[in-house]
Amino acid sequence: MAKIGNINLEEFPLLLAPMEDVSDPPFRAVCKENGADLMYTEFISSEGLIRDAIKSRQKLDIFDYERPIGIQIFGGDEEPMAMAAQIAAATNPDLVDINYGCPVKKVTCKGAGAGILKDVPKMIKLTAAVVKATSLPVTVKTRLGWDDDTRNIEEVAERLQDVGIQALTIHGRTRTQMYKGNADWSLIGKVKNNPRIRIPIFGNGDICTPEQAVSAREKYGVDGIMIGRAAIGYPWIFNEIKHFMKTGEHLPPPTVLERVRVCKKHLHHSIAWKGEIVGILEMRRHYTNYLKGLPHIKDFRQQLVTYKSPAELEQVLDAIAAQYKDHVFERVASPVADSQYLPANNESIDCNVYG
C-alpha cells in the first residue's frame, strides 16, 4: 500500500493531474466517481493567495467526497510560498503539493514552476520553507530537469527527500522539451530504484491506456501513476486501468447513455459551483471529448456550445442519448483528449497537463 505521511492509498494509486482550467471541483467529482485515488486542485499562485485574489481563493474549494486531495501551489520566493502553504492548510486539505514542473514562459520567467530547475539550491530552500510552514505532508511535482544537459532528477529527488517531502511525482520530460516527443520513463525508474529513496515515486507522462499503465508499473517499479489529458472527457480511464490490472481484461467502453449521464453530472456540478453563466460557458470545453467517436455529431456539438440554458442543454444531451443509443464504441489505442478542444488558453492547461 502506498502511503504519503498518514494518508493510506491504494496498492497502486492512480492520481489525477492538477490541470489549470480543467481539474476544478466539477471535473474532480466525475473522476472520483470513476476511480481516481488522489486528486489535486488546479495550481494556485502563492502571490495570488497572499493578495487575496478571487480566482486563487476559489481554487481552494475542496469537498469531503474528494478526499484524499492536495492543494497545489507555485511561486518563486520562500516567504510567499510559506505563507501560501499556511493559507492552503487552513482549508484542511490532506496535503500540500508544490509545482516545479510548469514550463510556460510566464511562469518560468519568475523562477517558478519548471523555472526553478535552473537553480536547484533555491528549489531546496523554497521546499524546506514550505515543509516548515505546515504540519501537512508536502509533496512535489517536477520534471527531469531544465534541458538535456541538466537531467538531474536523481540528485533533485534525494535532496527534496532530505528536506522533508513525502512523495514525488516526476513528469518524464525536461522543461525545454515542453510537450514534444515521448516521455522518458527510464530516469523515473532510476529514481524509484535508487536505494536512498524512501518516499513514494509517481510517474507522469503519456499514460493513455491500461496497457501503458501496466508497463509503467512492471518496467519501472513506480508506486503509482498520474494521469492528465487521458481523463479529459474520459474519466472512465481510472477504473479501466484498475480493472485491467486486476484481471488482464478490458472493461467495455462506456455506452452513450453512460457518457451522457456523466456529462450531465459534470454540467450540474459546474453550474452549482460556478453559477449558471460561467458554469455553462466553461463546460463547453469538455463536450467534444465526452462525445468523441460518435458519427455526424457536429450539429449536436454546435448546439451544446451555443445554448445558454440548462434546460436546453439537457434536451440536447437527451436527444444524443436517444439517437445514438445503439451505437457501439470501438476501443481506440488512446482516449487522450483532442488538443484542438482544450481550453482556448493552451498555455494555461498545458503547464499542468504535463508539468
Do residues 354 and 228 make contact, with C-beta atoms less than 8 angstroms apart? Answer: yes
Domain boundary among 224, 247, 270: 247
% residues pLDDT > 70 (the chain): 93
Euclidean distance between CA atoms 66 and 11, whole angstroms? 19
Which residues does the annotation place in the binding site for FMN?
72, 141, 171, 228-229
* Same domain flag for 47 and 110: yes
The cell numbers describing 101, all together, are 514542473
**Residue 331: inside a domain:** no
Do residues 228 and 202 make contact, with C-beta atoms less than 8 angstroms apart? Answer: no
For the segment 254-291, what is each residue's pLDDT rounded down to a tens digit? 999 999 999 999 999 999 999 999 999 999 999 999 99
* Same domain flag for 270 and 200: no
* Same domain flag for 133 and 174: yes
Cell 478526499 sits on residue: 67
Q: Which residues contact 211 (CB under 8 A, 6 or more apart)?
A: 244
Euclidean distance between CA atoms 242 and 236, whole angstroms? 10
* Same domain flag for 261 and 242: no
CATH at residue 151 = 3.20.20.70
Q: Nearest-CA neighbor of 160 among 170, 149, 172?
A: 170
* Same domain flag for 52 and 179: yes
**What is the structure's pLDDT at 236?**
97
**Residue 208: inside a domain:** yes
**Residue 195: inside a domain:** yes
* Same domain flag for 149 and 119: yes
The cell numbers describing 113, all together, are 514552476
For the segment 197-241, what is each residue's pLDDT rounded down to a tens digit? 999 999 999 999 999 999 999 999 999 999 998 999 999 999 999
**Residue 350: inside a domain:** no
Determine the straight-line distance between the first and last CA of the chain, rounded to whole angstroms.
Answer: 26
For the segment 230-254, what is each residue's pLDDT rounded down to a tens digit? 999 999 999 999 999 999 999 999 9
> Is 109 part of the annotated catalytic residue set?
no
**Residue 11: inside a domain:** yes
* Same domain flag for 303 and 210: no
**What is the structure's pLDDT at 332?**
61
**Residue 170: inside a domain:** yes
Work out the mean pLDDT of the chain and round it to a whole number: 88
* Same domain flag for 160 and 306: no
Residue 170 exposure: Cα atoms within 13 Å on the Cβ side: 33
Range of the domain at 32: 2-247
**What is the structure's pLDDT at 355?**
33
Which residues does the annotation place in the binding site?
72, 141, 171, 228-229
* Same domain flag for 174 and 240: yes
Q: How many structural domains is the chain composed of?
A: 2
Q: In terms of pTM, does the model score above 0.75? A: yes
* Same domain flag for 137 and 187: yes
* Same domain flag for 238 and 270: no
CATH at residue 319 = 1.10.1200
The cell numbers describing 310, all together, are 440548462
Catalytic residue among 31, 102, 263, 351, which? 102
Domain boundary among 216, 247, 278: 247
**Residue 345: inside a domain:** no
Q: Nearest-CA neighbor of 251 among 262, 240, 238?
A: 240
For the segment 53-79, what is each residue's pLDDT rounded down to a tens digit? 777 888 889 999 999 999 999 888 899
Concatenating the DSSP letter of every residue in 126-178 gives HHHHHHHH-SS-EEEEEES-SSGGG--HHHHHHHHHHTT---EEEESS-TTTT
* Same domain flag for 180 and 281: no
**Residue 20: inside a domain:** yes
For the segment 96-150, what is each residue's pLDDT rounded down to a tens digit? 999 997 767 778 777 777 788 888 999 999 999 999 999 999 999 998 988 888 8
Domain boundary among 247, 279, 306: 247
For the segment 290-309, what is each residue's pLDDT rounded down to a tens digit? 999 999 999 999 999 999 99
Please, which pLDDT band fits residue 339 given cuts at 50, 70 and 90?
very low
Q: Determine the average pLDDT of the residues in 312-335.
A: 86
